[in-house]
Structure 1
Amino acid sequence: MNSILEIEKMSLQFGGVKALDNVSFHIVKGEIFSLIGPNGAGKTSMLNCISGLYQPTTGSIRYKGKEIVNMKPYNRTKLGIARAFQNIALFAHMSVLDNLKLGRHTLMHSGPLSGGLYVGKASKEEIKHRRKVEEVIEFLELQDIRHTPVGTLPYGLQKRVEVGRALALGPELILLDEPMAGMNNSEKDLMARFILDMHEVMDTTVVLIEHDLGIVMNLSDHIAVLDFGKCIGFGTPDDIQKNQDVIKAYIGEETVI
Structure 2
Amino acid sequence: MGILEIKDITLRFGGVTALNQVTYEVKEGEIFSLIGPNGAGKTSMLNCISGLYRPTSGAICYKGEDITQLKPHKRAGMGIARAFQNIELFPHLSVLDNLMLGRHARMKTGLLSGGFYWGKAQKEEIEHREKVEEVIDFLEIEDIRNTPVGRLSYGLQKRVEVGRALALEPELLLLDEPMAGMNSEEKEDMARYIIDIHAEKQTTIILIEHDMRVVMDLSDHIAVLDFGKLIGYGTPNEIQNNQQVINAYLGEDEEQVG
Provide the TM-score with structure 1 as the length reference: 0.97
Mapping of residues 59-138 of structure 1, within 5 Å: 59-113=58-112, 115-138=114-137
SS at match of 1:252: helix
Rounded Cα–Cα distance in structure 2 between residues aligned with 1:137 and 1:235: 35
1:163-222 C-alpha deviation (Å, 9 max, x unpaired): 100000000000000000000001000000100011100000000000000000000000
Matched to 2:133, the amino acid is: E
1:10-65 C-alpha deviation (Å, 9 max, x unpaired): 00000110000000000000100000000000000000000000000000100000
Using the TM superposition, give the Cα deviation of residue 119 of structure 1 relative to its aligned residue in structure 2, in angstroms. Answer: 1.4
In the alignment, what sits opposite 1:41? 40
Rounded Cα–Cα distance in structure 1 between residues aligned with 2:30 and 2:64: 17
1:7 pairs with 2:19: no
Q: Does the C-alpha gap of structure 1 residues 102 and 249 become closer, same or farther in structure 2, counting only changes over 3 Å?
A: same
Structure 2, unmatched stretches of 5+, are none
Deviates more, 1:154-163 or 1:105-114: 105-114
Q: Does the C-alpha gap of structure 1 residues 240 and 114 become closer, same or farther in structure 2, counting only changes over 3 Å?
A: farther
Equivalent pair of 1:108/1:114 in contact (CA under 8 Å): no
Mapping of residues 185-224 of structure 1, within 5 Å: 185-224=184-223
RMSD, aligned α-carbons = 1.1
Matched to 1:192, the amino acid is: A
SS at match of 2:202: coil
1:124-180 C-alpha deviation (Å, 9 max, x unpaired): 211111111001001111100000000000000000000100000000000000000
Mapping of residues 150-165 of structure 1, within 5 Å: 150-165=149-164
Structure 1, unmatched stretches of 5+, are none
Q: Percent identity?
A: 69
Equivalent pair of 1:172/1:204 in contact (CA under 8 Å): yes
Matched to 1:143, the amino acid is: E
Rounded Cα–Cα distance in structure 2 between residues aligned with 1:36 and 1:54: 19
Rounded Cα–Cα distance in structure 1 between residues aligned with 2:204 and 2:190: 16
